[in-house]
Amino acid sequence: MFYLITVANIIIFVVISAIHFYWVIVNREFDLQPVIPHINGKPVFIPTRLGGSFIATLLLGASVLIYLNADNILSFIPDTLYKIALGVLSAIMFLRAVGEFRLVGFFKKIKDSKFAEMDTKYYSPLCLYLCISCLYLVLKN
């Protein structure tokens, strides 16, 4: 089960990272409605190439962290460091799932946008899964 969850999480983070890199590099003219919170039909922010690259890199780094936790090929790094980093990743995913009580997360107040619908159906549950599964990886390794 440990390795199945490890592989699943790596794939999820790599795919999400690839999507972000795609948006940054190839497709700058995509519909923001499903991926950015909107208020009264206007996006709360417009993602920049730098911001998108930063998020994509962090997501790719999360997949590397999960891999290194499972197969400690860098044996000079203590296992405790991996556990702490995965615990932080789990906490970040939990905070993203819960949200900031206005625009994102399970407890958002603004629910009348395409993003809010996608967030409720897909993004927040995925973050909750990643939170629980990363916590499992911390406790089982």
What tens digit of pLDDT does each residue of 91-117 get? 999 999 999 999 999 999 999 999 999
**Number of neighbouring beta carbons within 10 Å of residue 25:** 12
Contacts 24+ apart (CB under 8 A), 40-44: 41/113, 44/103
Q: Kindly tell me if the per-residue pLDDT of 84 is higher than 80.
A: yes
Selected residue with higher pLDDT from 71 and 66: 66
Q: Alpha-carbon distance 63 to 61, whole Å?
A: 5
Domain of 66? 2-140
Q: Alpha-carbon distance 64 to 56, whole Å?
A: 13
The structural domain count of the chain equals 1
Q: Alpha-carbon distance 123 to 132, whole Å?
A: 14
Neighbouring residues of 81: CB distance < 8 A, sequence distance ≥ 6: none
Determine what percent of the chain is predicted with pLDDT higher than 70: 99
Q: Kindly tell me if the per-residue pLDDT of 131 is higher than 90.
A: yes
